[in-house]
Structure 1
Amino acid sequence: MNSISLMAETPLYGETAEGSGQPVIPFSPVRKVLFIAYHFPPSGGGGVQRSLKFVKYLPECGYDPVVLTAKPNNERRWTPTDQALLDEVPKSVRVTSVSLPDEVHVPGKLERAARELLGMRSRFGLTWMNEVIEAGTELVEKEQPELIFVTLSPFEGADAAAEISRRTGIPWVADLRDPWALDEFQLHRSRWHRGLEKMQMEASLSTAAMIIMNTPESARRLAEAFPRLKKNNIVSLTNGYDASDFSGEVEPINGADKFAIVHSGYFHAESGLTERDRQFQYKLLGRTIPGVERLPRSHFYLLRALEEWLKEDPSIVNEVRVHCVGVLSQSDTALIERSSAKLLFDCSGYLSHAECLRYVRGADLLFLPMHKMPSGMKAGIVPGKAYEYMAAGRPILATVPDSDARDFVLNAGTGVVCDPGDVPGMLAALKEQHLKWKNGRAKPRSNEDFVRQFERKNLTLKLAGLLDQVR
């Protein structure tokens, strides 16, 4: 079967039975599913939202998820704690957590380098895989689910699910939150290592009954790269937003009298600066795909645009604020501190998802940066924040390459798009949106019908329809 893109084939939750006012949900008998997810509350961050929202709404769609996850470890940049997210997990859902020794998360530099050079899996990945196999097999015997659903990464979860399936005879479904070896943003030690990871990816996914990618482009790329996997039923099911997170009045951001530019989540300045400084090495070894530049997926070029704006109009220091909501690296912070635009920045650090959305909903302009791509090649990823940005209905300054992300924000009607790293384009967009804000015309007309297809209930209903195909 060829890859397909699931965008709006299934009736949306917003469609109602005549006269009932209630969403139309196709009836299906309750099916139990073993739901394997390393990233799950109380962990926070972008990687948690997809799993959390599926588990939140699957019971309404005829599925009973039995969750297998990891106990929270010490807080790290990519796995902050957000206890409030636990409240969204239905009380009926059973959650089993396995413990991973803290040392597997932070291996020694020598061990890490040796494993990467030899193309070996990390000790963390292997530990997670083995824990999942044992705990998952026990859960299958106890709970008797009809299928196994594993969300990746860690990508070793694919082999764990495959082994549980082999032991129990239950089919398994792979859900890739990132394109794995086909992710153009991912760094590798060399061309050989990238090729090795592609081989591992194909082998690990070979027994999956279905492979779900989170963008149409990544699904197309997977089918093209691994023709033998087409028989596994390759589909795309995007990330999204939860309408319940957008209920209630929009609260003003601190300093509401100022033009508020908001970025939520992570920047990637550190990897981008390293890539720029080691261009010859990266090119020689084939560490990156030629033409891909990571630095634009940060605030590096936004800072340049703001610096130019300040030169032209110093008074904006009293009118403009850039709110960075998320954990910043030392490189991220250093770029701001060295910039003449640093007085414009307000960096909050990590905030709960609810508080983050307060900033997103109250923004006058949302910043969505992505990496640069070579000519003729679409990006395979869409940052998770893009869907919540669209749901907010606020203007989006999207510095994005040819990609599903570009198509989505333009179709949403709120995107102001320029190429990654285009400083003059960013400066023009900033000045234009600022002028609209001063004139009281900041809110664009959103294409709500288009955006609604990304609502989490609608996406979970589509997921249930996909899982119904797995027997």
Structure 2
Amino acid sequence: MNASPLASDPQASRAIPATVPTPTPVKKVLFIAYHFPPAGGGGVQRSLKFVKYLPECGFDPIVLTAKPNKEHRWTPTDQALADEVPASVKVHQVELPEEVHVPGKLERAARELLGMRSRFGRTWMDLVIEEGTKIAQREKPEMIFVTLSPFEGADAAAEISRRTGIPWVADLRDPWALDEFQLHRTGFHRSLEKMQMERSLRSASLIIMNTPESARRLGKTFPRLKANTIVSLTNGYDASDFTGEVEAIPGGKFSIVHSGYFHAESGLVEQKRRTQYKLLGRTVAGVERLPRSHYYLLQALEQWIKDDPAIVNDVRMRCVGVLSKSDQALIDASPAKPLFDCAGYLNHTECLRYVRAADLLFLPLHKMPAGMKAGIVPGKAYEYMASGRPILATLPASDARDFVSQAGTGVLCEPGDVAGMLAALKDQYKKWKSGAARPDWNEDFVRQFERKNLTMKLASFLRDIR
């Protein structure tokens, strides 16, 4: 399989093997992941796919996760994902009391103000240390792998490592204190979080960031973390999810599809409190959160309806995912509401059915200050690229923008660019009406993000740990 290396990836020189080797003996890995099936959502898939394919690469993952609790917006149940966990994989669960998930507002504010861990994070850390130490002593794994967030998992893995002498690996699905999208009480609290991040990662034998930019940012911010312990390993897509015929979306409409979550709620609050946020340093200067939602797309759709009222009969904006009250309120108040079809959360299989059949996929991200790249790539981006469908990508300078551009299917404009979105919508609709050819999809480039390829790369990193 021909995989194209990432030009900006600090580990691009490590070639992916042409075939999957199966070393002997098999290496055991204590795999700590709070987000794991039967929970669904974007945070689950990276861990699930590693666990699914590591056995083919000579590793035996022993999973330590949380017992399913009451469903929350970010952790819906998804049996389709649970069915992908190999029967041979041992899964251990710890149970967190429901009350730690939903602390009172005063408690949460007090803990954040004092720079204290949340009760949820502290409880998760303590349970993982207790149960993880028992598993490590009994199973004798060669290494401990923890996927973050919750970020308290880093200290839990470090403590298990200290007690057992087993090396540990930190896998950051988000850039933690270096994530420009995250809110902090003040700039001072952001600095405290950076200090905590460096302390927590110091003893890791390997630190895996999920974008090239976040890996670069980590090494630059914390030079005391040895450069050779920092690698980049992106999220991706599973080729097995893209087999078979594409099933058309019923109705024969021009279908614009967005999968996953919008972030209108936090963006609207930021917009309302912009001066306060700026004075307190709650956000990184120049970052705007609202474009990572349907807020500006709604404006483009409203203008499109004014220009051509007939599209109400021909166009549908299909939202596949859980909407917040703010997300739904924006739609309800908009003249473009007749265009919207909101399915709510669908299991991963059903979600991909929409993605694969879309006439246009919507991929928004937040706005960044000039000269700064975004440190994250939404997980949906990889499945969007794998579909080969056109992507309306409202992206700042970022790995996401670079990837979508190289994939050949991106219709790019800046975050919040209403005029650019409107022009793209009209152009893609015109092509759909005329039956014009699909974009020139660079499948060879996209193939490097296939989950088996990524797991093989992970396995090569893990074999180097001593």
Segment drifting more, 23-32 vs 446-455: 23-32
1:6 Cα deviation (Å)?
3.5
Aligned to 1:466: 461
Contact 1:433 1:442 in 2 (8 A): no
* CA distance in 2: counterparts of 1:11 and 1:377, whole angstroms: 30
The counterpart of 1:176, out of the listed 166, 172, 175, is: 172
Q: Which residue of 2 aligns with 1:408?
A: 403
Work out whether 1:6 is the aligned partner of 2:2.
no
Alignment of 1:215-226 (within 5 A): 215-226=211-222
| Correspondence list, 1:33-432, <5 A | 33-231=29-227, 233-255=229-251, 257-432=252-427
**Identity percentage of aligned residues:** 76
Q: Is the 8 A contact 1:217 1:378 kept in 2?
A: yes
Tell me the SS of whatever aligns to 2:381. Answer: helix
Q: Using the alignment, how far apart are the partners of 1:319 and 1:469 within structure 2?
A: 55
Q: Distance in 2 between matches of 1:232 and 1:109?
A: 42
**Cα gap change, 1:348/1:271 in structure 2, threshold over 3 Å: closer, same or farther?**
same
2: distance between equivalents of 1:288 and 1:442? Answer: 43
| Aligned length in residues | 459
Q: Supply the AA of the counterpart residue of 1:308.
A: Q
Q: Equivalent residue of 2:115, what SS?
A: coil
- For residues 343-371 of structure 1, the C-alpha deviation after alignment (integer angstroms, 9 at most, x for no partner) is 00000000000000000000000000000
Q: Distance in 2 between matches of 1:426 and 1:346?
A: 19
What residue identity is the alignment partner of 2:463? D
> Shift of the alpha carbon at 1:269?
0.2
Contact 1:396-1:415 within 8 A present in 2 as well: yes
**Aligned residue identity for 2:35:** H
- The one-letter code sitting in structure 1 at the alignment partner of 2:408 is G
Question: For 1:388 and 1:46, how far apart are their aligned partners in 2?
Answer: 11
Shift of 1:148: 0.2
Unmatched segments (≥5 aa) in structure 1: 16-22
**After the TM superposition, which parts of structure 1 deviate over 2 Å for at least 4 consecutive aligned residues?**
3-12, 23-29
Task: Please state whether the residue corresponding to 2:47 is helix, strand or coil.
Answer: helix
Report deviation, 1:25.
Answer: 3.0
Distance 2:375 2:436 in 1: 34
Deviations 1:429-461 (A, max 9, x none): 000100110111252121011000000000000
- Paired residue secondary structure (1:381): coil
Letter in 1 for 2:315: V
Residue 31 of structure 1 contacts residue 146 of structure 1 at CA under 8 Å; is this kept in 2? yes
Q: How large is the RMSD of aligned CA atoms in angstroms?
A: 1.2
Report Cα offsets for 1:254-286 as digits up to 9, x if no partner: 22x110000000000000000000011001100
CA distance in 1, matches of 2:438, 2:71: 37
User: Counterpart of 2:5?
Assistant: none
Using structure 1 for the length normalisation, give the TM-score: 0.96
State the TM-score, normalized to the length of structure 2. 0.97
* 1:366 counterpart SS class: strand
Q: Give the corresponding residue for 1:20.
A: none
Corresponding residue SS for 2:224:
helix
Deviations 1:349-399 (A, max 9, x none): 000000000000000000000000000000000000000000000000000
What one-letter code is carried by the residue in structure 2 that aligns with 1:274? V
Whether the aligned pair in 2 keeps the contact of 1:5 and 1:237 (CA below 8 Å) is: no
